[in-house]
A = this chain, B = another copy of it.
C-alpha cells in the first residue's frame, strides 16, 4: 500500500475513529485502526466489537492495500506532524513507513486481513434526521441512561419510530427523560434499544449542523448511523423496554412556572451542602408568588427564594439536587414548568408542546 493524504484531514478522521478503539483488550488487532485504499480515498475503520466506526477521506492511492496500525501510536504521531502531505507506505512484512517533509518514521503494523470488518447492511430505507436534532436529543436524554450493567435495557435509549413521530426515552429508576421529535418522512413502526455508550460517542462526533443529515438504518440486531463521511455501526440491546406511558400523568396537582437559570443557580448552591457521607435533599416549597429553595445539613444550611407563577395548591417536596440540575441544565427554554401532585409522587418538567418530558422521583423529606 502507498497513499498520500493531508495531515489535517487524517487527524480529523482519526479523532472520530479513535472513539471505537478498544482501550482494554488482550487482542492487539483491536487496538488498531485499519487503513484500506479505495478509489481516490482511504477508509479508516476502528472496531471494539460492540461498536464500529468507519471514516473515508480523500487520498492519492499509488499502490492499493490495507494495513492495521496501533491506533494510539499512529494518531499521536500524525498529530505531531505539520499540516502537510503525509506519505504512508507498507511492505509485505507489515512494516509501515510514514514520511512528512524530511521526517521519516518506521512503525510495526499488523495484517489488515485479520481486522474484524463490520457486516454489510441494507441502507435502502433509512430514517433521516438532521445532525442538529440528533445531537440535541442525545444531549437532552443521555444523562438519564443507567450505568448499572445489571439491567442491560436501562443502559440503552429506547427509540420508537411510528409514522412521522420519533420518541426517545432514557431512564435509570430515579428519573425518566423523553424527547418527542417530528420527522420529515413517514416510516413503518420500529422500536429498538440503542446502547447509551454509543449514542454518547455519536453525540460528540456529530457536527450538529441544521442542514446536514444523519441516515439511520436498522436490521434485527444492529443500528447504523451514516453522516458526513462517517458510518457508525452498533449492536442493539436485546430485551423488552419499560412501558412508561401510564406513568406520564401531569394532569392534576400544582404547576409552577419560573426562570430556569434562577432555579439552576439556587439548586446549584444548595448542592454544596450535599456530602458523600450525608445526602440531604433540597426542599422546594411552592407559594403563591414564589418558591423557596432550602437545604439543611451538618456542613451548613441555605434558604433562598425565587419568583414564580403557581397554578393549583401550595406544595412541599424534596429532590436530589444533582438529579434536578441534570434536567434543568439540558432544557433550552428560558422558563420551565414543574408539575407536582404531592410530596410522594413524581415531579414532571414538561415543555408546553411536549417536545421534552422529564419525570423525577422526589426524596422523602419526612418532618423536615
Contact = CB atoms under 8 A, between A and B. Distances in A.
A300 B108 contact: yes
Contacts of A266: 103
Contact of A103 (B81, B105, B107, B303): B303
A268 interface: yes
A301 interface: yes
Nearest to A306: B102
Interface string A103-116: 11111100000000
Given A77-B269, A272-B73, A299 B102 contact: no
Nearest to A298: B108
A300 B102 contact: no
A2 interface: no
A305 interface: yes
B73 A265 contact: no
A76 interface: yes
Contacts of A163: none
A299 B73 contact: yes
A76 B272 CA distance: 7
A107 B300 contact: yes
A218 to B, nearest CB: 41
A155 to B, nearest CB: 32
B73 A105 contact: no
Interface in A286-322: 299-306
Contacts of A303: 103-104
Interface string A215-252: 00000000000000000000000000000000000000
A301 B268 contact: no
Query: What size tier do the contact residues of chain A reach?
Result: 20 to 34
Contact of A299 (B80, B103, B107, B268): B107
Contact of A80 (B103, B269, B305): B269
A83 interface: no
Contacts of A102: 304-306
A253 interface: no
A73 B300 contact: yes
A12 interface: no
Nearest to A96: B300
A82 interface: yes
Contacts of A272: 73, 76-77, 80
Contacts of A299: 73, 107-108
Interface string A335-365: 0000000000000000000000000000000
Interface string A86-113: 0000000000000000111111100000
Nearest to A304: B103
A49 B18 CA distance: 47
A10 to B, nearest CB: 15
B265 A80 contact: yes
A130 B77 CA distance: 41
Contact of A300 (B80, B105, B269, B306): B105
A11 to B, nearest CB: 14
A104 B303 CA distance: 5
- Closest A-B pairs by Cβ, 6 of them: A107-B300, A103-B304, A106-B301, A104-B303, A102-B305, A80-B269
8 contacts: A73-B272, A82-B265, A102-B305, A103-B266, A103-B303, A104-B302, A105-B300, A106-B302
